[in-house]
Structure 1
Amino acid sequence: MRVYLSVLKLRMNMGLQYRTAALAGVATQFFWGIITIMIFEAFYEYAANTPPISLKELITYIWLQQAFLVFITMWFRDNELFELITSGNIAYELCRPCELYGFWYAKLLAQRLSSAFLRCFPILIISFFLPKPYNMTLPPSFPAFLLFLSALILGLLLLVAISMFLYISAFVTLSPMGSLLVFSVLGEFFAGLIIPVPLMPDWLEKIANVLPFRWTADFPFRVYSGHIPPHDAISGITIQLIYLVGLVWLGRAALNRVLRKAVVQGG
């Protein structure tokens, strides 16, 4: 475990050096958040029926999306790992005196944490001081905030476990672009990044509830806004844990299997 914690610390320190890129990302995400809110504001103004999630809750949902974007997007990737797999240099990784799945998991987790640390605070601070109705609001209670933090952390761990299948699939396809495209499109849509899950048709919402993607983004953000009450949040956190354990187990098994069949340069 000390090895993985060391990798996590080193990669986080490396990621925290890219402050200029993070500042550019903050400006982009802030602008995109304002545009998205304006679109939904027009939608709510002319909606024939009362939407299942209020505009106030939706605006908070959108700002949380922008603040923790690297926690919830599938397209945030490590091209170095793809290069190791496709070039055959994965042989060097196999020489490390630690399990490859845990090593890569810690590396990917650190990248997302460091990037989010640089970006989330400016977006959250500014969004609280915006004029109504564009401002972000506080959670309804302190217990709701604690449940949100738990759900957000578990959602991040779950997303990293899902993203590990991207790199595992590259052993088979030798081209990450196809898997990356499929995972990104499905992941972003069913996580509620395009359309919040409560605004989806009933049949589509049922599919989203079965897939693990919505538990990485939609669930923690709605816990924060109070749209999901505390007793339902506790049940959702239990589901997150089940998904996390299951996907990590499947990921380790799948990685060990493809490594047994992997062919690198030189035989």
Structure 2
Amino acid sequence: MMACQFVRCLNMQLKVRIGKNAVFYSSCHLYMDRAKKTCSIRNSCNTVPRTFCLPLKQTLLLQHPNPIFPQREQFSILSRCMSSKADNVQRFDNKDKCAVFDQSGMLIKETTFVQAKLLAASKNSRLVFMNKNPDGLLCFSLQQLTVKPEKAKTIEQNTSKLSKEKKSDNKAAAKEYKIKASIADHDLNIKISQMQSHLGKGKQVIIFIKEKASQTSVSAKGVAELMKKLKDELSDVCKVNQDYSNATTTKLTLTPKESQPQALSSNYSEENKVASQ
């Protein structure tokens, strides 16, 4: 007994494009002739007035022969039921024959895989593998990239530059200290040592001296003594400025002296001269 020549597929989803107008059919009858590698499609709702015979491919181009159309219009039919298993893109050879389609499903050209990659690069797109059709052609769709490679490179460079500038700004940022007016001498000496280290690196130091509003007279005396000690200990490496003072807070800004590194280097050179003599 001979095998049936035609295979019928029901409820097939198709997208038909006529010119610029696209119609989506949710229920169609597909008849495939495996010997001739052709198929015929009939819409179950009779939206398509007659049966069309066309090549068996993933995306199919045909001519509408109905005389009610003034011109023979080209349209494409996308058929998912005719797709085979997707192959791994890494296995493709540059000489493999392939068909390239746009995002609407229209065939752009049939070419080799290496030429398809060049075409995608020229259109700022990437190749998306759809399937391998019964004719052995690899079917790819061009997917538009959201950002151009040159622009992406520029954005990456700008981001890297901003991050470097931010790091440099963080390094040069002023160091803040909050000190109570009643701080112990031992703790104050530790703070002063840390301040000297930051000032030696060229960083500005900001000090907030906190005092209790309920003990204004006692705190004021403690703040005055604290400020005097800070000036005595740090006057050689920085300039001490009092920004403001109120009932609870006194702000000091310590700015490193610009001449300090030069003075140190000159003293060092003089000591070397004396040692050499």
Bigger Cα Rg: 2
TM-score (norm 1): 0.19
Point out which structure has higher relative CO (alpha carbons under 8 A, 6+ apart): 1
Q: TM-score when scaled to structure 2?
A: 0.18
Q: Which has the higher helix share?
A: 1
Higher share in strand:
2
